[in-house]
């Protein structure tokens, strides 16, 4: 017997309360296979690719692309791939849907609460083994609601049972009649060594696009999402399934003179606004500024370029210099948590990366133990993942120090806002040729302006100044940077 099931906004991480359906990768009423990419969902920092766990079909896509939905809120209705489902059946299912946790239900358009019903008998307590592979939130929900976890297959890392798994298992299936056995045969992948992104390969398998011999528009001919979609013909829904009313077209025309364009904040922009507003309003910032010569680093880059054909960026050398300076000044390599100062032995440096959705700071772990070349490779890999929304939480959460460089935009000098709970951040400006006195003679040097923002609750002026003096020495005499 076929059933309709809720497809709700998933939850990743304890702090996630909502997500944005960035894009549906399947059409309403069109069957999909296990492993197909269903949707792209954005959280505060990353974009998650949602794959089908089994063959199926969405008789209705409720969530609109670009809209925000609370965790647990209904975003689509799921059915078997061959089910014939009427619009009335879907309407009845949507009307009867209730999130397992009412605290995450959407407030927008919520119906008035019904009168209180008589208290039901408490659910029987379920014994769960202490060593069961289940998250604490999922365990508590299962015990409270009497959900048997023995039949649940976890969707978390290493098969761990998540809150979402238990929540879905607690919902009774809604019978709609008819249907057929679901084919669980996984989708094959015969793409071999095709130079394409993982998302492009998934889309190629989903839409039957042959990537053999194709040259992409990405770096070095890499095939990307846009290249595959350019080969895909528009999907037509089966005639038997009546099409749902198309959403109203969005007018992206330029606003008329004197009018106002209102742009809704993305999840990342809201997270940035919240964190930096808190930082600037609650952390006592003070700033230490210094001008440093970088001619010696420019010389090292020229030597590396001549020897290998590639050279680390100026920022890579600055990350290395900051890491060594932090090792000598652990009082700057700190985080502030309430009335506690956490001092770190390892220099985990966050590097600010600008993306089309906002600023994110991936972390170079143990930068004091890495060579400049290794730092360069790490930063490039993290920046690529940041711009494509593929960073994992452990790659951008935490860190003991930050660097923000706007020199490539021609900015001479600026002061950065501290990234809590870190205690300091270094702002780097553009290099410029300036006349200076060297050995009683006038000479020209390439000067960069540095500004260190410090949290005065944990770092005193003298401590920050001593750090800046060490940093300046490492930059102007960088023999240790390549050691």
Sign of CA dihedral 144, 146, 150, 151: negative
What string of H, E and C letters represents the secondary structure of 135-179?
CHHHHHHHHHHCCCHHHCCCCCHHHCECHHHHHHHCCCCEECCCC
CB 43 within 8 A of CB 89: no
Burial (CB count <10 Å: 0-12, 13-18, 19+), residue 327: middle
CB 315 within 8 A of CB 379: yes
Both tokens of residue 131?
């060593």
Q: Which of 428, 212, 118 is nearest to 201 (CA)?
A: 212
The string of DSSP letters for 48-73 reads: EEEEPSSSBEEEEE-SPTT-EEETT-
DSSP state of 38: E
Q: Tokens 């040097």 label which residue?
A: 445
Q: Looking at the annotation, which residues are catalytic?
A: 456
- E-strand ranges in 316-465 read 334-337, 340-343, 349-351, 353-355, 358-360, 363-364, 401-405, 424-428, 432-438, 441-455
CB 451 within 8 A of CB 404: no
Q: Which helix (H) or strand (E) holds 330?
A: none
Name the 3-class secondary structure at 417.
coil
Radius of gyration of the chain measured on its C-alpha atoms: 27
Give CA–CA dist 336/311, Å, rounded: 36
Both tokens of residue 281?
């309003």
Give CA–CA dist 426/417, Å, rounded: 9
**Strand 340-343 vs strand 349-351: parallel, antiparallel, or unpaired?**
unpaired
């Amino acid at each position: 017997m076929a059933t309709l099931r809720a497809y709700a906004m998933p939850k990743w991480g304890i702090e996630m309360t909502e997500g944005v359906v960035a894009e549906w990768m399947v059409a309403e009423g069109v069957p999909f296979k296990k492993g197909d990419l269903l949707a792209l969902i954005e959280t505060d920092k990353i974009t998650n690719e949602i794959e089908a766990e089994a063959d199926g079909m969405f008789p209705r896509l409720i969530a609109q692309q670009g809209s925000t939905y609370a965790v647990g809120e209904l975003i689509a209705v799921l059915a078997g791939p061959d089910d014939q489902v009427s619009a009335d059946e879907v309407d009845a299912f949507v009307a009867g849907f209730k999130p397992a946790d009412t605290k995450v239900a959407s407030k927008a358009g919520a119906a008035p609460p019904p009168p209180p019903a008589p208290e039901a008998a408490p659910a029987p307590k379920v014994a769960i083994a202490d060593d069961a592979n289940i998250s604490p939130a999922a365990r508590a929900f299962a015990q409270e609601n009497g959900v048997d976890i023995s039949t649940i297959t976890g969707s978390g890392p290493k098969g761990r049972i998540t809150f979402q798994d238990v929540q879905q298992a607690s919902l009774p299936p809604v019978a709609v009649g008819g249907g057929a056995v679901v084919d669980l045969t996984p989708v094959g992948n015969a793409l071999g060594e095709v130079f394409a992104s993982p998302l492009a390969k998934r889309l190629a398998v989903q839409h039957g696009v042959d990537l053999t011999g194709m040259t992409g528009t990405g770096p070095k001919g890499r095939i990307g999402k846009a290249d595959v979609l350019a080969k895909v013909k528009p999907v037509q829904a089966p005639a038997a399934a009546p099409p749902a009313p198309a959403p109203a077209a969005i007018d992206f025309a330029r606003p008329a003179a004197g009018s106002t364009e209102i742009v809704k904040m993305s999840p990342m922009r809201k997270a940035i606004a919240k964190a930096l507003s808190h930082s600037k309003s609650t952390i006592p910032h003070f700033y230490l500024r210094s001008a440093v010569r970088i001619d010696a680093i420019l010389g090292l880059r020229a030597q590396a370029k001549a020897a290998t054909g590639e050279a680390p960026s100026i920022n890579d050398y600055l990350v290395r210099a900051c890491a060594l300076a932090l090792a000598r000044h652990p009082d700057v390599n700190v985080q502030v948590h309430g009335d506690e100062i956490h001092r770190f032995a390892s220099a985990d440096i966050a590097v600010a990366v600008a993306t089309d959705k906002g600023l994110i700071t991936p972390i170079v772990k143990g930068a004091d133990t890495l060579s400049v070349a290794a730092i360069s490779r790490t930063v490039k890999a993290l920046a690529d993942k940041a711009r494509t929304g593929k960073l994992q939480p452990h790659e951008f959460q935490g860190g003991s120090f930050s660097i923000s460089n706007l020199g490539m935009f021609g900015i001479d000098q600026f002061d950065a806002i501290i990234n809590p709970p870190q205690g300091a951040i270094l702002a780097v400006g553009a290099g410029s040729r300036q006349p200076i006195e060297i050995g009683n003679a006038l000479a020209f040097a390439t000067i960069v302006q540095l500004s260190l923002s410090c949290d005065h609750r944990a770092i005193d002026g003298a401590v920050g100044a001593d750090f800046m003096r060490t940093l300046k020495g490492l930059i102007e005499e960088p023999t240790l940077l390549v050691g």
